[in-house]
Amino acid sequence: MRVFVSKRQRKKRAQRRLILGLIAVLLVAAIGGWLYGFIAYVKAMPQPDHRRQGVTSGAAVVLTGGPLRVTSGLALLTSGQIEQLLISGVHADFSTRSLTAIARGAKLDTKLDRLISCCITLGYAAHDTVGNAKETALWAALYEVTSVRVVTAQYHMARALLEFDAAMPHVAIIADPVFPPDVKQDTWYRWPGTLFLFTQEYSKLQLARLRVRLQQLLPNLRS
């Protein structure tokens, strides 16, 4: 039995197929673009031998997220590579006593009491990377800092630098990554936890890039 299909119906079906085809092409292109960017992000991630050993700067900021970041910041201060240290985004329960315990565990407690009173600031205001950048900008202006080292995990560094450059365009930003041992950077594709961490961070980076670009085009969007 033949079913009669009008010219109008055939035209609508053709239009639907065209629309579905375009959607499929756009979806494949979007997925391909995301994967390409993700691979580029992983390849550009700092390696352990890329750390700025011996580079001096006026100050450093530690973006909280693990004791390794804090001990790395303390090492910069105790070695004389920086003069001021901000630990940004600490929990309300964190105190100088907590800092002393971390330093003692890492054998960095030499002269720490003096350094705490003169050279270390605990920042409680920040709750995310945007907040870290804003808190650091205020602190840098207070201490007249012209260069600051950003201490955070290697997978977080790209987004941190983006936010800090946007918040402090007149301050030199130096990347000083740390490398958590549980993050399997070289074989990330074999470790579901690291893969999820990297994909999550890359997605956040893309959203941050979009927001910063919009803020540059529309300054009134700045909060």
**162-209: per-residue pLDDT in tens?**
999 999 999 999 999 999 999 999 999 999 999 999 999 999 999 999
In a domain, 13, yes or no: no
CATH code at position 112: 3.40.50.620
Give the pLDDT band (50/70/90) at residue 1.
low
Q: Is residue 194 part of a domain?
A: no
Examine residue 140 and state whether it is found in any structural domain, yes or no. yes
The dihedral region occupied by 54, where left means phi > 0, alpha psi between -120 and 50, and beta the remainder, is left
Q: How far apart are the first and last CA of the chain?
A: 67
Q: What is the domain extent for residue 88? A: 56-179
Reported confidence tier of residue 66, pLDDT bands at 50, 70, 90 = confident
**Does 192 fall in a domain?**
no
Are the C-beta atoms of 222 and 175 separated by less than 8 Å? Answer: no
211 domain-assigned = no
Please tell me the distance from the alpha carbon of residue 148 to that of residue 82, in angstroms, as a whole number.
9
Question: Residue 223: is its pLDDT beyond 60?
Answer: no
CA distance 148 to 56: 9
Do the beta carbons of residue 174 and residue 148 sit within 8 Å? yes
Residue 134 placed within a domain: yes
> What whole-number distance in Å separates Cα of residue 218 and Cα of residue 76?
38
Domain total in the chain: 1
